[in-house]
Amino acid sequence: MRLRILPASLIFLLVACDQTHSPSKDVPVHVGISTLHSEAVTLFTQLPGRTTAVRTAEVRPQVSGIILKRLFTEGSEVKAGQSLYQIDPATYQATYDKAMATLINADKVAARYKPLAAAHAISQQVYDDAVATAREARADVETARVNLNYTKVRAPISGHIGRSLTTEGALVTNGQSSYMSLIQQLDPIYVDVNASSRDLLAQRRALADGRLKKAGDNAAAVKLTLEDGSAYPLEGRMEFSEVTVDESTGSVTLRASFPNPQRNLLPGMFVHASFAQGIAEQGILVPQQSVMHDIKGRPYVYVVNTENRIREQLITTGQMIGQKWLVHTGLKEGDRVVVDGLQNVQPGTRVTASVSSGKSQYSSKVNLAITDASAQ
């Protein structure tokens, strides 16, 4: 009989010991949280674009002839009206001299005929023909003078001139298809970017609905990122947007102007332009590390409810602002979002929480300590 009772007693003691040393399944887990606050958030958009000169002029000859000399330094700055090439003027000088001689003679004939016509010694028609001939001669002189002046090929605009495509001794002709050199104005310089017409429509609707507010004085300010990822130090201004949509791309061209005193920006460079879309006056920002995704790809966060338990909350996010996501739906001011210790909790877990040590330039966190008396 004693041999049968002893094993039962041992089993009872082992079970009791196991129950004494097993930990509670509802022990609170410590997490770091961030208490959300609504704030005015300026939304920016960044679009790719290319730089283009404010003005571009192709230097072409207006008369035909042999180039005698190039009068500028390639790659230099030139002024409007500055002589760039000298075309052989010999033929045009001769034409001018001949026209001038013809004019002098015609003026003398008209002057002799004037008193004769007044005395009716000649017909009025003869005198009128002499006056008309003098006027034609004067027009021929002006034409010859203009062509002679065109033998000096001048800069049509001020700007930076590139390499010469024409050398001394080359024959150039009026109306030729190829230009002799290219002048570009680089300060200021334009940046043309293409924005999706769908995005522009959504932005205008958000402004009309009151979800966004115009960015005020900063609405036209544009910042630039260069090809190597560095920031361009000078700020530009938005000039205008096209009123038509490119049918092939579904985009609208926006143009910004940037000061370029050091000529760091050159036409054709690939850049990214960043400018304000508007202001979300009641914006909610959550730290990037607090946002997770379920198996369907939907973003969600863990929220500490009033009972100090974890609740999974689906959200919809907008753009990234620094190291935080802008939340459109799913969260409100005062919600306590788990930032640290996410791997240790799941929905329903009881927690004790304190403010996360993470720092952000976009929002400040209020010190918070949640304690559960029943856990003490």
CATH number at residue 98: 1.10.287.470
pLDDT number for residue 222 = 86
CATH number at residue 77: 2.40.50.100
HEC-encoded secondary structure of the chain: CHHHHHHHHHHHHHHHHHHHHCCCCCCCEEEEEEECCCEEEEEEEEEEEEEEEEEEEEECCCCCEEEEEECCCCCCEECCCCEEEEECCHHHHHHHHHHHHHHHHHHHHHHHHHHHHHCCCCCHHHHHHHHHHHHHHHHHHHHHHHHHHHCEEECCCCEEECCCCCCCCCEECCCCCCCCEEEEEEEEEEEEEEEEHHHHHHHHHHHHHCCCECCHHHCCEEEEECCCCCECCCCEEEEEECCCCECCCCEEEEEEEECCCCCCCCCCCEEEEEEEEEEEEEEEEEEHHHCEECCCCCEEEEEECCCCEEEEEECEEEEEECCEEEEEECCCCCCEEEEECHHHCCCCCEEEEEECCCCCCCCCCCCCEECCHHHC
State the Cα angle at 236 between 235 and 237, rounded to 5°. Answer: 135
119 in the same domain as 168 = no
Q: For the full predicted model, state whether its pTM sits above 0.85.
A: no
CATH number at residue 302: 2.40.420.20
- Please write the tens of the pLDDT for every residue from 259-310: 999 999 999 999 998 887 767 777 889 999 999 999 999 999 999 998 999 9
In a domain? residue 5: no
Cβ atoms of 259 and 188 closer than 8 Å: yes
357 in the same domain as 295 = yes
> Residue written as tokens 């932005």?
203
Domain ranges, residue 77: 61-88+155-178
In a domain? residue 4: no
In a domain? residue 7: no
- Please write the tens of the pLDDT for every residue from 68-123: 999 999 999 999 999 999 999 999 999 999 999 999 999 999 999 889 888 888 88
206 in the same domain as 97 = no
In a domain? residue 12: no
In a domain? residue 167: yes
**Count of CB atoms situated within 10 Å of the CB of 285:** 25
Which residues in the chain show pLDDT less than 50?
A: 1-6, 8-17, 19-23, 359-376
Select from 177, 193, 373, 362 the least CA-distant residue to 283: 362
pLDDT number for residue 7 = 52
In a domain? residue 300: yes
333 in the same domain as 310 = yes
pLDDT number for residue 211 = 57
CATH number at residue 266: 2.40.30.170
168 in the same domain as 81 = yes
| Domain boundary residue, one of 224, 244, 278 | 278
| Domain boundary residue, one of 252, 278, 304 | 278
145 in the same domain as 97 = yes
In a domain? residue 20: no
pLDDT number for residue 217 = 54
237 in the same domain as 323 = no
| Domain boundary residue, one of 278, 309, 338 | 278
pLDDT number for residue 212 = 56
pLDDT number for residue 365 = 32
pLDDT number for residue 199 = 67
369 in the same domain as 313 = yes
Domain total of the chain: 4
In a domain? residue 11: no
115 in the same domain as 78 = no
192 in the same domain as 50 = yes
82 in the same domain as 98 = no
pLDDT number for residue 92 = 96
225 in the same domain as 164 = no
Where does residue 121 fall: left (phi above 0), alpha (psi -120 to 50 degrees), or beta otherwise?
alpha
Q: What residues pair up with 52 in beta bridges, in sequence order?
A: 190
